């Protein structure tokens, strides 16, 4: 059975709108596709861009991705997320990032970093520094966190504003703020699963969102209203004690008032529902579409979504129906760097589909190895494996993929 019949619907979707130009705030995008931040472990030890990362993202940019959301970028170089976390360490690193963003822009693609404070997810404990959090609990690595004092928060807010200003100086087109999955600093402050504070930064939904509001305000003050902010958030934490879809819908007007230019809807938490963050083959496609649709109904700014988006015809259809405004592709672009370009040309049979196995992307990272992909041997090795089209093509059947 041909691949198209096996994994693709047979009806025709309208493919037009997804590949048309549009705006997020002042950022003009050539189409409605994004590449997700995945923290693949390609970073240099100094937290800056290197040839491996540049080749990886540049390859996707050249293949018609509309906007790349760069991996988690720590606002504090002393508080890394992973071993080699991206950060704007000094003026020299900003200049190196500027050279990189210039190359991305030459392709017509936009690029933004995911700005975050790792907080409870920092590996600082390996250096004898307890990871900081809204409250005391065991983090995702079973390490005890330290509750942040109220007087420490203004300094962290300033770090967010400074990192965002550095991103602007480095030529990025905006930023994404990470506030999802009861994870990292802002996400853990927002979630009742992690935030047990009794001061004005804990308790009610708006109190738990107070730090997020103050961070947004500081970034807008430092970078200006014309520097877009995309907010990554869980549409629902899918936990009886966590934030619900109704909670998030209640927050939307406040976040828009503070200056958020776009919402990226993810779902679940890093702790109780990690399978919703990185959906495996047992999870349905478009994992977070329901929550994104509901938020789209009330939001005044664009809404995009992430989570096991594999079918190029289906993703085009939800955009055409105005159910959401953009799709954020992660592993689909690991498995096939030309996913978007092939979809634009309706070359569906030529797309190498992600199977959701998680072996190379997630599995290698759990071993502290750079990510790979069992479908695409070029992933992370774009500067090494350069394939040229043969002058003498043959028809070859590959029986079994070796997974």
The residue segments making up the domain with residue 42 are 13-366
Place of tokens 């300033």: 158
Question: What whole-number distance in Å separates Cα of residue 321 and Cα of residue 313?
Answer: 12
Asked if residue 403 belongs to a domain, the reply is: no
Asked if residue 401 belongs to a domain, the reply is: no
- Indicate which CATH number applies to the domain containing 118: 3.20.20.70
Asked if residue 377 belongs to a domain, the reply is: no
Asked if residue 394 belongs to a domain, the reply is: no
Question: What whole-number distance in Å separates Cα of residue 218 and Cα of residue 159?
Answer: 10
CA 209 from chain centre, in angstroms, equals 20
Q: Total structural domains in the chain?
A: 1
Asked if residue 387 belongs to a domain, the reply is: no
Residue 24 has pLDDT above 80, yes or no: yes
Task: State pLDDT tens for residues 73-83.
Answer: 999 988 888 77
Asked if residue 33 belongs to a domain, the reply is: yes
Query: What's residue 8's pLDDT?
Result: 44
- Confidence bin at 127 (pLDDT 50/70/90): confident
Question: What whole-number distance in Å separates Cα of residue 140 and Cα of residue 181?
Answer: 11
Query: What's residue 43's pLDDT?
Result: 80
Q: Which of 183, 201, 271, 348 is catalytic?
A: 183
Asked if residue 166 belongs to a domain, the reply is: yes
Phi-psi region of 86 (alpha: psi -120 to 50; beta: other; left: phi over 0): beta
Question: What whole-number distance in Å separates Cα of residue 154 and Cα of residue 130?
Answer: 20
Q: Which of 107-116, 243-252, 278-287 is least confident?
A: 278-287
- Confidence bin at 373 (pLDDT 50/70/90): very high
Tell how strand 326-329 and strand 303-306 pair up. parallel
Question: What whole-number distance in Å separates Cα of residue 265 and Cα of residue 307?
Answer: 9
The larger pLDDT score, comparing residue 282 to residue 17, is at 17
Tokens for 243?
A: 């934030």
Task: State pLDDT tens for residues 265-276.
Answer: 999 887 654 555
Residue 137 annotated to the active site: no
Question: What whole-number distance in Å separates Cα of residue 14 and Cα of residue 36?
Answer: 24
Asked if residue 334 belongs to a domain, the reply is: yes
- Write phi, then psi, for 266 (nearest 5 degrees): -110, -155
Residue 348 has pLDDT above 60, yes or no: yes
Q: Classify each residue of 300-309 as buried b or exposed e, where b means 16 or more C-beta atoms within 10 Å of its C-beta.
A: ebbbbbbbbb
Average pLDDT, the chain: 91
Name the nearest CA neighbour of 75 among 41, 40, 122. 122
CB 271 within 8 A of CB 294: no
Residue 9 has pLDDT above 50, yes or no: no
Model's pTM, two decimal places?
0.92
């Amino acid at each position: 059975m041909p691949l198209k019949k096996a994994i693709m619907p047979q009806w025709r979707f309208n493919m037009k709108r997804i590949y048309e130009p549009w705006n997020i705030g002042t950022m003009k995008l050539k189409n409605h596709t994004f590449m997700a931040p995945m923290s693949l472990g390609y970073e240099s030890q100094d937290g800056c861009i290197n040839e491996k990362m540049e080749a990886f993202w540049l390859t996707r940019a050249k293949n018609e991705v509309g906007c790349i959301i760069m991996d988690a970028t720590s606002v504090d170089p002393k508080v890394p997320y992973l071993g080699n976390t991206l950060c704007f360490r000094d003026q020299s690193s900003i200049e190196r990032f500027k050279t990189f963003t210039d190359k991305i822009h030459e392709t017509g693609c936009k690029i933004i970093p995911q700005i975050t404070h790792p907080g409870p997810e920092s590996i600082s404990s390996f250096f004898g520094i307890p990871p900081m959090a809204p409250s005391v609990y065991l983090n995702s690595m079973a390490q005890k966190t330290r509750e942040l004092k109220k007087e420490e928060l203004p300094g962290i807010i300033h770090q967010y504003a400074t990192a965002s200003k550095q991103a602007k100086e480095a030529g990025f087109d905006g930023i994404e703020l990470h506030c999802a999955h009861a994870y990292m600093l802002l996400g853990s402050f927002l979630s009742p699963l992690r935030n047990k504070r009794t001061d004005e930064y804990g308790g009610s939904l708006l109190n738990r969102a107070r730090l997020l509001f103050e961070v947004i305000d500081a970034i807008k003050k430092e970078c200006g209203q014309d520097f877009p902010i995309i907010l990554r958030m869980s549409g629902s934490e899918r936990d009886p004690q966590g934030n619900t879809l109704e909670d998030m819908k209640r927050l939307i007007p406040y976040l828009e008032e503070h200056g958020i230019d776009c919402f990226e809807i993810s779902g679940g938490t890093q702790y109780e529902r990690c399978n919703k963050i990185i959906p495996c083959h047992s999870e349905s496609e478009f994992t977070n579409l329901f929550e994104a649709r509901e938020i789209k109904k009330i939001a005044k700014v664009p809404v995009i979504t992430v989570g096991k988006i594999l079918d190029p015809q289906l993703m085009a259809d939800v955009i055409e129906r105005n159910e959401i405004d953009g799709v954020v592709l992660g592993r689909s672009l690991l498995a096939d760097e030309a996913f978007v370009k092939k979809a634009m040309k309706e070359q569906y049979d030529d797309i190498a589909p992600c199977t959701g196995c998680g072996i190379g992307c997630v599995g290698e990272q759990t071993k502290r190895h750079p990510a790979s992909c069992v479908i695409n041997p070029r992933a992370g090795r774009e500067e090494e494996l350069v394939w040229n089209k043969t002058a003498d093509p043959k028809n070859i059947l590959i029986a079994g993929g070796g997974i």
